[in-house]
Every structure is written in C-alpha cells, then in structure tokens.
Structure 1
Amino acid sequence: MGLSKEQLLTQLQELQIEFSKYEHPLVLTVEAQAKYVGNLGGGLSKNLFLKDKKSRFYVVSALADTRVDLKVLSQRLGLGKGGLRMAPEEALGEILQVPLGCVTPFALVNESARDVSLLLDQGFKTHEHCFFHPLSNDMSISLNARDLDRFLKSIGRDPSYVDLEATPTVGKDQPPDLAALVPSGSIALPDQAEKQSSSEVPKEGNTVSVSNKPKTVSAKVVNPCIVGNNTKGTPVKNVCSSGSFADVGKFVEEILQKTSELLLSEIKEETIGLHGEQLSAVVCDKLQKNLNSDLKNLAMIFKNTAYTEGFHAGTQHQPTRW
C-alpha cells in the first residue's frame, strides 16, 4: 500500500515545505484541473508515465503547454525513435501505487518506484509556483521548484531538469544527451512474470510433434473455431466458420476487424481530453496490450488450420510406391 494523500501532506509539513492546497472534484486531465486552479496563477503540470522496451519506467513531469515529443525524447535517451510508450495501467498500481490521473513527481515517494527515472521540465523554474496532485486527483497543491527539490532530495532523488522541447542531433558523433537518465535496471510486474513462466510451457492442444520414425506423424490440433476470453475478460465470439482460416484474405480481414473494433472502443471519454502525443501513446499501448492475446490465438488457429489441411492432403494422396 502506497503513501496516502494525508501522509504526503504531513511529510511536506515535517520538511517545513510551504504549499497551498485546493480541493476539487476528481479530474483526469490538465484541462479539467485548470477549471478549478487555472485562475490562480502559476504553472499547471502534465505528467506522463512511460516505459521502454526493456521494461524500464520513466515519469516525465512538464508544464501543461510544453510539447513533449516521445520520439525525440526516446532518441535523446538513446532508445531509438520508438523506444518509449505509455506504461500499462496496471503499472500505476504496482509501481507508482497511484490511480489513473494521479501521476506526479510525488508518486516517487513510494519504495516500489525507486527504480523509476524522473525527468522534470526546466520550465518549472520560471514560475513562482506550480500545481501538482498530491497522490490524489481530488486536490491540487502549489509549491515552487526549490521546495519540490527539497522534497525529492529528502527521498534520495537528485532532481534532473531538462529542456523537453529541445531537439539536439543524435548520431555517431553526437551521443544521446539524456542517456544518463535511463534507469539501470528493468522492473518486472507480477503478471509479466506469470506470463513469461507460462509461455515457457507448451499448452496442450497448441503443439504439433513429429516423431523420429519415418512416415509417422502424431499431432494435437486446435479446433480452428475457438470461443474464449480476451485480455479484458470478455467473451470472444466464434472467430471463424469451418475452413475460413485456410483463406489468407479472410485471416487478414479478421485481424483488421478486431483492430478497428478495439480502436473505437478505446476512444473513451477519459481519453478525449488528452493531448495528441498522449492520446496516440495511450491508444497504441492499449492496442498492443489488448490485441496481443487475440492475435496470438488467430495466428495459432491459422497455423493449425494450415497444418490440418496439409496433413489431410498428405494422407488422402499417398505417393505411388515402387
């Protein structure tokens, strides 16, 4: 269980950090927060929780009007153009231990976030005070960059301020300028560990084995028409009719249909207010996460259908023996 809002505020008071607090309804976007504290002066903050391909996590905290290009930031960290994406929602609970909409530098107070890298917008230093959620998005607190630094140092963090809109050249003679901010180790979520261990053991019904003896084949073939659950726990409809996956065109159409349905379902009310780069990253992450299981099932169905077709063809048309 992570630190509560009340515990965080008490910790700030014990550090003699001056701050002002403003209670308001739950908000999920900077635009919604601005309705309640935007008229008070100071800088509003937007906060991104990101991960790279090696399961290393990052919190990027920036002014609301700072443009954060994830492709450029990824290159500056030495991760390539597509090395960063939005972290999965379950990581909020497992690592930062905060709900959706509550990511801020304060979330790094929890021990579970000790290996998460923090990048702060240097623009924070140009404002007399800035607004952040104190682990809960039903309140905003304002404080200046110096006091934010004092808090971060109290939990063993050395604040790193970055010009997030800079676009330095990265190449052979220009190494990534932010490479030092890449975490040293990856973080494995519990469900990831379970998936990895389960994937190492072949599931019954998904294997095809060929013995060493000539002309002898034993196989367990999956029924090409499967009814099961997708990654969200909702029933998956019967995805094919008899023999449909012998047709490559129908196989591709099924993939495109599933992608389109999921894309439309993920453009929800809570994502409409996100900025362009945030929205695209969220949708891409959702697509990859939620389509992963379905597409694996479709690929396995296609594979086993192809095998079955070939197996039957081989048994029905035996070559003439001389």
Structure 2
Amino acid sequence: MPKTEAELFAFLAELGIDASTMRHPPLFTVADSQALRGEIAGGHTKNLFLKDKKDNFFLVTVGEEAVVDLKQIHHLIGASGKVSFGKPEMLMELLGVVPGAVTVFGVINDTEQRVKLILDEELMTHSLINAHPLTNEATTSIGADDLLKFVKATGHDAAILKVSA
C-alpha cells in the first residue's frame, strides 16, 4: 500500500524537517500550477517518470520552466539507450502516485530503490523547493537541504545533474 500524505508528513516530522503545505484544487499540469504563482515562493517542480529499454526507471525532477531534451537525456542519467515515459501502472507500483501527481516525494514509496532519482542542478539553486505531497491537491514547500535529507532517509541517492537546457 502506498504511503498517504499524512504518513509522508509524519516521516518528514520524524526527520525534523519543517515543511509547509498549501491546499488547492487538483493540478494536473505545469500550466495549472502556474496559476498559484505569487502565493507559493520558491522553485516549482516538474517531474518526468522515465524508463529505458532494460526497464530501469528514473524520476527526473526539474524546475517547472525547464526544457529537457528527451532524445538526449539518456546520456546524462545513465540510461541504457533512449528513454520513454513509464506506464501509469509502474508509476503507481514504484512511486505510489498517479499521472498528474508525480512528485519527488514519491521516492518514499520506492522501498526497493528501483527508481534512480535525478534532481536538476538549476532547481537545486533554490533555497525552497515545492512539490506535490503524493497528491495533486496540495503543494508542499521544503528547504533544498531538507529535500536531500528526506531523499537520503528513503534510501535513495539523488544525482544532482544539469539535465535542463
């Protein structure tokens, strides 16, 4: 069973991580979320759930405005050949979320560390990072250093790479 939003918040609290969350109507796209600008400070995320031809999975988290070359990203992230978007069933199985709610916080559900997490270098220059807390009906703000602490506590090692143009 995937973790709930409440379980995510409890995990963050156990780690001593301060996070704030704003409720809003469901947001499915970056364009939807841009309507909230001005209300939520910090770097806003866009997430790509990718797989390669050997069924290796990647979660690439970039800034909402970032441009990512999907034809070339496999060279940067260590994929076996070109990548494609992962199927919704695998997204739910590995990260416990549905399309439209993909989030860096989903690694809490990847208990077998099957997903390689890539954080864009430019996104990580923000002191505050914003992501969905396992639901697209809220946005959680967390410090960049605390995000890395969270990721490590889930057993993942985030690769911080320049993946956006």
Same fold (TM over 0.5): yes
Greater RCO, CA 8 A, separation 6+: 2
Identical positions, percent: 36
Equivalent residue number for residue 50 of structure 2: 50
Where in structure 2 are the equivalents of 1:229-248 lying within 5 Å? none
* RMSD (Å) for aligned C-alpha atoms: 1.5
What is the CA distance between 1:111 and its match in structure 2? Answer: 3.9
What is the CA distance between 1:78 and its match in structure 2? Answer: 5.4
SS in 2 for 1:71: coil
Equivalent residue number for residue 79 of structure 1: 80
Equivalent residue number for residue 151 of structure 2: 152
SS in 1 for 2:72: helix
Look at both structures and tell me which one has the larger radius of gyration over its CA atoms.
1
Distance 1:132 1:113 in 2: 22
Would the alpha carbon gap of residues 84 and 43 (structure 1) be closer, same or farther in structure 2, given more than 3 Å must change? same
Distance 1:152 1:33 in 2: 24
Would the alpha carbon gap of residues 90 and 48 (structure 1) be closer, same or farther in structure 2, given more than 3 Å must change? same
Distance 2:79 2:111 in 1: 25
Distance 1:75 1:128 in 2: 28
Distance 1:93 1:79 in 2: 23
**Does the aligned pair in 1 maintain the 2:59–2:116 contact within 8 Å?**
yes
Distance 1:48 1:153 in 2: 20
**Does the aligned pair in 2 maintain the 1:21–1:141 contact within 8 Å?**
yes
What is the CA distance between 1:96 and its match in structure 2? Answer: 1.5
What is the CA distance between 1:65 and its match in structure 2? Answer: 1.4
Q: Write the letter of the residue equivalent to 2:137.
A: D
Where in structure 2 are the equivalents of 1:1-322 lying within 5 Å? 1-36=1-36, 38-39=37-38, 40-76=40-76, 77=78, 79-80=80-81, 83-112=82-111, 114-165=113-164
SS in 2 for 1:119: strand
Residues 140-164 of structure 1, C-alpha deviations (whole Å, 9 max, x = no match): 0111210001111111222210011
In terms of fraction of residues, the more helix-rich structure is: 1
Q: Write the letter of the residue equivalent to 1:79.
A: S
TM-score (norm 2): 0.91
TM-score (norm 1): 0.48
Segments of structure 2 that go 5 or more residues without pairing to the other structure are none
Q: Write the letter of the residue equivalent to 1:13.
A: A
What is the CA distance between 1:113 and its match in structure 2? Answer: 5.4
What is the CA distance between 1:125 and its match in structure 2? Answer: 2.5
Would the alpha carbon gap of residues 8 and 78 (structure 1) be closer, same or farther in structure 2, given more than 3 Å must change? closer
In terms of fraction of residues, the more strand-rich structure is: 2
SS in 1 for 2:91: helix
Residues 163-211 of structure 1, C-alpha deviations (whole Å, 9 max, x = no match): 1136xxxxxxxxxxxxxxxxxxxxxxxxxxxxxxxxxxxxxxxxxxxxx
SS in 2 for 1:61: strand
Distance 2:47 2:31 in 1: 13
Distance 1:128 1:112 in 2: 27
